[in-house]
Structure 1
Amino acid sequence: MPTDDLTPGDLTPEEFARVRQGVRLLVAHLVKAEDMPLAGVLASAHAEIIGAIAAVYGGDMAARSARLAADQVEGMPSLEEYAAENPLATMATKGRA
């Protein structure tokens, strides 16, 4: 039943991790096995999830959820940006130390 608080609180930590892993696997499958562009897959998944939140909890909750997520990631560098600024952190290792 919908509540006023949209959190993974209804899930155990293990269930929460399984859901997140399932989403990552689905995205990876669509990109690699189905040869779909990553940006399109992510945009479609985002739209589907926000739409589902709106259908179950209402548009206000979906908008609040999107704003909270945006607050948490705004200013975060992409992996490409991070690698450009920290080349040693993203280099593959060779041999043994």
Structure 2
Amino acid sequence: MKMKLRDAEEENVMMQSAMDEMRAEVVTSLERVRSFKERMLVSAESDIPQLMFRKRLWLWRICLSASKCWLQSMIRSSKESVLRLQARSMLVSLLF
């Protein structure tokens, strides 16, 4: 009986030790995550103006490309020379 009690106590101590190690690992991991999150927030705050500029530039490029494609299709499909000339002049003004 004493042997079983001693074995149970030893097992309890070993489990407690393992739980303490796991708890320490979790705390360390949480500290790393918090540190990483703080670094990312600081980095993001400093990058926001640059990201917004890039986003606007990207959207402008998409709009310009779509307008260019639309005008080129209008030039190709238009049967009237006046519309072709207007579309070409608009295309040239978009490109320069």
**TM-score normalized with structure 1 length:** 0.28
Structure having the higher Rg: 2
**TM-score normalized with structure 2 length:** 0.29
Higher RCO (C-alpha 8 Å, min separation 6): 1
